[in-house]
Structure 1
Amino acid sequence: MDQGQGQGPRLRRPAPAGTLIWVLLALLGFTLVVQLRSNDSDDGLAGARQEDLVRILSDLEAQDSRLLAEIQGLEQSKQQLTSGVAGKEAAREEAERRSQELGLLAGTVPGRGPGLDITLRDVGASHVLNSVQELRGAGGEVMQLNGANGVSVRVVASSFFVDAAGGGIIADGEQLAGPFHLLVVGPPGTMSTALQIPGGVVAQAKSAGGSVTMDSRSLVEVTAVRKAAALRYARPVS
């Protein structure tokens, strides 16, 4: 016969804190019932004096008050334990959210959101750098630079750009051929305006014989990621 037959659904085991509270409540209730039955069954009560009966009743009322106070204290402890768990859960969720945000800033996780797809033609490293800086000032949060040769680089705070011998640029040690596509997640209108201010990125590229065109998108996907750097010396301050 299959040992699994005839068995009902398994009950979930209560949390240790909840189990302790309910056990204590049960013991307190049992103690009260036993005390009441003991007093009810006492043959001496029938012939006890009025003063003795008053004293016994007073003791029972005092004991009842103490038990009620202990029950209330246990209920408060249960609420505190519950709120403590909720607080820890909220803290864990906040830590995960902050971790994701830091991962986006460090370039270790992909990102997506509204933004711009910018094409830069016949420009040098200085124009790419100016574009990145202008976009950051206008609210650009996550960026990726793609070269015509299929090389992609995640742009972060430490990124650098230099002109490469024979054409193209070197971004963070990777050589990219033009034209370049700069994907950036941020407020499209604000960033587009920032690039087109008089004497700004678009004007500078045009005067140098290049061009900068922008395509506003409701969803820009930044897929290039970087490996997290292993710190050798720095430690957080406790």
Structure 2
Amino acid sequence: MPDPAPEPRRATDAPPRRLLRDFLRPSRGQFVAGVALFLTALIVVLTLRSQANQPEFANVRQADLIQLLDNVTAETRRLEEEVRTLEQAQSELLSGVDRDEAARQEAERRLEQAQIIAGTVAVSGPGVRLEIQDPGARVSAELLLDAVEELRDAGAEVIELNDSVRLVMSSWFGTDDSGRLTADGVALEAPYVIEAIGDPATLEAGARFRGGLVSEVEGERVGGRVQITQLDEVSITTVVEPEDNEFATPR
């Protein structure tokens, strides 16, 4: 009886040498596909590296960059003036001439600054008045807090809200039981009016910076409006009553 014919060899039964030869000598289609994949990967890597190396403000509009530069310039001038004042005070205190008088004047200056920061005295000076219209009642406590922080970053020295709340370092925002916004526990009604003392142009630029107060209020989420007025003199009369110390006593 003749032996049965051997089964035909399947493609998967190719010897390892043939597989190695196919790998080292790819067909024209495989070669083209490999080159295309390599170029695609190279483009992706170069794009990611280019984006990572771009400066932080590469995509910011020119007008916004100018506003930012103005803010930095104004803050630099303010700090330079503060440095000159401190150097002059140091020189007077060390010179030995009218040392007592110089020390007294420096103490009075520091006391005045402390009172202004604490909000215990009325003040006036150049600044801005911001009126925030909120027809849809969509202005949140977080938005008002961000607005105050932006003004402080722009150099605001004193801030008052709705002619009734003097904002200091310990101020806070929230809502009452009826859903109205509050500042330091005082209920606020729209329109919200913020008065700030500082360089008027710099304060307005800080409020109008893209992504800032004006953009947030006048955007679709809030749908309000902000009117900013630069003033030669802003008078802030609201003061904070200092609390009695519970543990500390003067010596």
Cα offset, 1:168, TM superposition: 3.4
Which of 223, 227, 234 lines up with 1:213 in the alignment?
227
SS in 2 for 1:100: helix
Tell which structure's C-alpha radius of gyration is larger: 1
In the TM superposition, 1:129-140 aligns within 5 A as: 129-140=145-156
- 1: distance between equivalents of 2:207 and 2:112? 28
Which of 229, 233, 236 lines up with 2:247 in the alignment?
233
Give the equivalent residue in structure 2 for 1:169. 181
In the TM superposition, 1:58-207 aligns within 5 A as: 86-122=98-134, 123-146=139-162, 152-207=164-219
- 2: distance between equivalents of 1:133 and 1:99? 24
Conserved 8 A contact 1:144-1:152: yes
- 1: distance between equivalents of 2:249 and 2:146? 33
Cα offset, 1:165, TM superposition: 4.1
- 2: distance between equivalents of 1:186 and 1:168? 29
The percent identity for this pair of structures is: 40
Unmatched segments (≥5 aa) in structure 1? 1-82
RMSD: 2.2
What amino acid does structure 2 have at the position aligned with 1:182? I
Residues 113 and 120 of structure 1: CA distance in aligned 2, closer, same or farther (over 3 Å): same
- 1: distance between equivalents of 2:189 and 2:243? 27
- 2: distance between equivalents of 1:135 and 1:187? 10
- 2: distance between equivalents of 1:163 and 1:210? 19
Question: So what's the TM-score if we normalise by structure 1?
Answer: 0.59
Cα offset, 1:195, TM superposition: 1.0
What amino acid does structure 2 have at the position aligned with 1:231? N
Question: So what's the TM-score if we normalise by structure 2?
Answer: 0.56
- 2: distance between equivalents of 1:89 and 1:230? 31
Cα offset, 1:87, TM superposition: 1.4
What amino acid does structure 2 have at the position aligned with 1:199? G
Unmatched segments (≥5 aa) in structure 2? 1-94
- 2: distance between equivalents of 1:215 and 1:164? 30
Cα offset, 1:220, TM superposition: 0.4
